[in-house]
Amino acid sequence: MPAQDRLGLRIAAIVPCHDEEITVAKVVRDLRAAVPGMVVYVYDNNSTDRTAERALEAGAVVRRESLPGKGNVIRRAFADIDADVYVTIDGDDTYEAGDLPAMIDKLLDGPYDHVLGVRRDTRQTSSYRPGHETGNKIFNRLTSALFRAPVSDMLSGYRVFSRRFVKSFPAISRRFETETELTVHMMSLRLPCAEHPVGFRERPEGSESKLSTVGDGLRILGLLAQLVRHERPTLFYGVLSLGLAALSLLLGVPVVAEYAETGLVPRLPTAVLAAALMGLAFLMGSVGLILDGLLRARRESARLTYLRLAPTLEHRSADELHPDPVAGRAPLTRTA
């Protein structure tokens, strides 16, 4: 019996693709074999090869998104598809589809709103280049520190979501920085989440990565700066305020000391600059406090929007909601 029929759930897999003719058919077949009956949506993002045709042949529902970038695909798919459980996975066949049943089980058993597939054995594959691995570790630590929530692989493209998460996610980013946005959305609303180790392997011969270590890294860094400004305004504007105040004191203290000794202000431009910098410091601090109040109101509104959506647990069948105390719930994970 199909997994979602047994659970009373609709499960949708979203596979963003750009020129993945070599791998997309295998990804679709592996996903359908891992969770029978799951609907696999392949979003063709301006491919110049036969990606769409190969996906159709493998049994996927093919849709097209003309705006370039993975973030645009995720925004479109989250808006268009109505399901109870959502899966995102890249179309390059580097993630192990066989890990998906266990990830869905974890989401339902939590219950969680987000299960992150954490890549393992990355040192044994060239698909995860040293620059990407180093950058990922830096971003993991930076994001964990800034948003005070731990994350092990924030740039992973393999994730499972509840409907609540998807329909409350604003999806602003355009390109590969969408994973960062997904992670920060989870952290800022303090949604229940979990991590699950997943297999990660080499790209097949002839398949090329679309990632740019430097370009995408800079975009992610820029997004993090924006997210800190929006989600931690007291930190962002507080640092600016302290920096401006320190510079003002550095310039102004000698002028004040000289005035105390001589009664003269020979360096008038420096005195004016120091006063202006101190004024800006107070202004930045005030902006931070005002935005922090607005942030609280925005988070409360986002939280209420999230709570208005029914939890995934309510969509499950009566047998699943009240399992036999001895037998328990039959897991999705398949055994040999």
What's the rounded mean pLDDT across residues 172-191?
86
More confident residue, 251 or 133: 251
Give the closest residue to 246 by CA, choosing from 279, 281, 221: 281
pLDDT-wise least confident of 98-102, 144-148, 216-220? 216-220
Lowest mean pLDDT among 85-94, 195-204, 247-256, 320-329: 320-329
Segments making up each domain of the chain, as ranges: 3-231+312-321, 233-305
Crossing angle of helices 213-231 and 178-188, in 10° steps, is: 20
| Per-residue pLDDT at 328 | 47
Nearest to 236 by CA among 220, 224, 254: 224
Task: Give the per-residue pLDDT at 325.
Answer: 39
Q: What is the share, in percent, of the chain residues with pLDDT greater than 70?
A: 82
In angstroms, the CA 111 to CA 301 distance is: 23
Nearest Cα to 96, choosing from 182, 157, 44? 157
DSSP E strand stretches across the chain: 11-17, 39-44, 61-64, 85-88, 114-119, 159-162, 193-198
Residue 90, pLDDT > 50, answer yes
Tokens describing residue 174? 């355009």
Q: Which of 39-48, 65-74, 118-127, 256-265 has the lowest mean pLDDT?
A: 118-127
- Inter-residue long-range contacts of 132-137, CB under 8 Å, 24+ positions, other chains counted: 132/211, 132/213, 135/213, 135/217, 135/220
For residue range 114-170, list pLDDT tens digits in order.
999 999 865 445 445 555 677 778 888 888 888 888 888 988 999 999 999 999 998
- The backbone region for 296, taken as left when phi is positive above 0, alpha when psi lies in -120 to 50, beta otherwise, is alpha
Q: Name the region of 49 (left: φ>0; alpha: ψ -120 to 50; beta: rest).
A: beta
Q: What is the CATH number assigned to the segment(s) 3-231+312-321?
A: 3.90.550.10
> What is the average pLDDT value for the chain, to the nearest integer?
84
- Amino acid 75: pLDDT: 94
Confidence of residue 94 (pLDDT cuts 50, 70, 90): very high
